[in-house]
Structure formats: structure tokens, C-alpha cells
Amino acid sequence: MTDGIRVALVTGANKGIGLEIARQLAQAGVRVIIGARDDGRARAAVDDLASQGLVAHSVRLDLDDEDSITDAAATIAAEHGRLDILVNNAGIFDTADGPPGTASLAAVRRVMETNFLGTLAVTQAMLPLLRAAPAGRIVNLSSSLGSLTLNGDPASPYYSQRFIGYNASKAALNMLTIQLHEALRDTPIVVNSVSPGFVKTDLTGYGTMTPEEGARLPVRHALGGDESGQWFGPAGETPW
Ligand code: NAP
């Protein structure tokens, strides 16, 4: 499609913060593609948005399945021709994760596989489509738990949250943000990490914000702002 409407892919958009990011992007007039690993859950999300008069597309996308990622990129290329916005939202937390001395290695591997390697694979597959857009934008959903600085600061509320797998996966995601920003310096593509805040979803089970509130900052950076290679959180710039 060559009309001026921006096209966005949101990974893990069938629930939680991702679904609200998809909703708010659709409300802003963006053509939204819901990435979900389960067709039924994808359909439910599309129907949910449709009940509010919002049109959304969907594509099967499992971060742990490289073929699904390649197929999703081919589908988006065929149906939309480009990608203006990629929101790398999909992610997991594993209850067998924990402090470095005792965390389940299998859990750490699962979390790194999805949150970092899966996101890297999606980003690589979507880059040609982002390059085909006039001003591509990548938003990586990070977490303050991924801050090396805050993990080493006893005064930080995140200091006691020792999840070696999850925290390292978000620190690695931040590395992707910085390296990609540097690699894309000569292009109009903008790439940033954004922390949504502490949001009550299935991932956390509790939190101080609703998914709707948690979606606002990622959406703001998906839609605008020229800064690139930065990390934004509800309190402003976050220390790496
Ligand atoms: P959530 O409600 O559990 O939603 C996670 C989404 O990711 C779901 O749609 C899930 O799909 C999808 N997903 C998980 N593994 C996937 C895979 N292998 N392939 C494709 N999709 C997959 O969690 P959330 O709280 O909204 O989290 C969204 C993002 O924000 C995550 O990256 C998380 O780390 C980050 N974050 C959250 C908070 C918070 O306070 N909630 C704070 C900081 C950062 P299924 O339904 O199929 O499982």
C-alpha cells in the first residue's frame, strides 16, 4: 500500500500492554498489525478493537519460532509493503528465574530466548520493511530492572529485584537499542527503549498502573519524537 497511513506491528499484542498499544495506535489512525503466537488470541484482540470501531490486522508471530517470524515479514511485505513502526513488546517473566546463585538455568534460557533473541530475530526480519518506510521507528519495551546502574544502586527500589534472566534480557535489549541506533545513524530510522512503568498485567500480577496507562509512553515514542538511541521511562530518561 502506498497511501500515507502509517503501518505498525506490535508484537505480543493480544493482551496486556501490547493490546493497549495496538488500541491507542489504531485510535491515532495507524494501520495496526497485531502480532500474536496464537491465532485464536489474535482474533479475539482484533474483535476487541473492532467492538470499538477500530480496524486491526493480525499476523501469527511467535518469538520462539523463527519460521513464524520469517513468514510474518513476508506476509507484511505482501499485504502492506512496508513497516513504519515496530513495537517490540512481547516478553515473558519466569517464576523459576531468581538471583544469580540459584535461578533455574532453564528459566534463564527461556527468558533470554524470548525477550532478547526472539526480539532480535523479529527486528532483523522487519528491518527491510522499516527501511522501505519514509521514517521507520522501533520501540523496544524495556524495564527499569534492566538498568545496570539501578541494579548496582542500593538506594534504588529495583536493587532488591534479583531476576538474573529477566533483568539481563532487558539489559541485552537495551544493547540492541544502542547498537541498532548506531548502525542506523545514516538512515531516518529511530530506535529507542521505553519502560512502561509498573503495570498490572498477567506478567506482573500487580502494579500501580493499568495497561492503558502503561501503553501511553510506548505509543508516544512510536508516534513521534526525533531522539534516537535513548531510554525513556515514566520518570524521564533512565540510566543504562
Ligand atoms: P503480558 O500481559 O504477559 O503480555 C505479554 C505478551 O507477550 C502476550 O501477548 C504474550 O502472548 C506475548 N508473548 C509472550 N511470549 C511470546 C512469544 N514467544 N511470541 C510471541 N508473543 C509472546 O505482559 P505485559 O506486562 O503486557 O508485558 C509487555 C512487555 O512490557 C514485556 O516485554 C514486559 O517485559 C514489558 N514490561 C512490563 C512491565 C509491567 O509492569 N507489566 C514493566 C516493564 C516492562 P500470549 O498471550 O500468547 O502468552
Q: What pLDDT shows up at residue 2?
A: 54
**Could you tell me the distance, in angstroms and rounded to a whole number, from the CA of residue 25 to the centre of ligand 1?**
17
Which cell is 79 given? 499485504
The pLDDT score that the predictor gives to residue 129 is: 98
> What stretches of the chain adopt beta strand conformation (E)?
7-10, 31-36, 56-60, 85-88, 137-141, 190-194, 231-233, 236-237
Place of cell 491515532: 28
> For residue 3, how many other CB atoms are within 10 A of its CB?
7
User: What is the pLDDT at residue 226?
Assistant: 87
* C-alpha cell belonging to residue 227: 531522539
Which residues of the chain register pLDDT less than 50?
Answer: none
Residue 171 near residue 225 (C-beta atoms within 8 A): no
Q: In this predicted structure, what is the pLDDT of residue 15?
A: 98
Catalytic residue selected from 15, 159, 170, 200: 170
Contact of 83 with 100, CB cutoff 8 Å? no
Is 159 tagged catalytic?
no
Ligand 1 centroid, distance to 120 Cα (angstroms): 16
**Between vectors from CA 180 to CA 239 and to CA 199, what angle results, nearest 5°?**
50
89-122: buried (b, 16+ CB within 10 Å) or exposed (e) per residue?
bbbbbbeebbeeeebeeebbebbbbbbbbbbbbb
Q: Domains in the chain, start-ordered, CATH in brackets?
A: 7-237 (3.40.50.720)
Residue 170 is a catalytic residue = yes
Q: Estimate to the nearest angstrom the gap between the alpha carbon of 125 and the chain centroid.
A: 15
End-to-end, the C-alpha distance of the chain in Å comes to 38
Rounded to the nearest 10 degrees, the angle between the axes of helix 119-131 and helix 66-80 is 20
Q: How many CB atoms neighbour CB 219 within 10 A?
A: 27
Q: Which residue has the cell 530475530?
A: 121
Tell whether pTM > 0.95. yes
User: Residue 205 carries which DSSP code?
Assistant: S
Q: Which of 92, 138, 167, 200 has most ligand 1 atoms within 8 Å of CB, for mutation?
A: 92
Question: Which helix (H) or strand (E) covers residue 174, if one does?
Answer: helix 164-183
- Ligand 1 pocket test target in 203, 216, 238 with most atoms within 8 Å of CB: 203
**Which is nearest to 108 in space by CA: 64, 100, 195?**
100
Name the active-site residue from 15, 159, 166, 206. 166
Distance 90 CA to ligand 1 centre (A): 4
Cα four-point dihedral sign 207, 208, 214, 220:
negative
Ligand 1: lining residues by beta carbon, under 6 Å:
11-12, 14-18, 37-38, 41, 61-64, 89-92, 114, 118, 141, 143, 195-196, 198-199, 201-204, 207
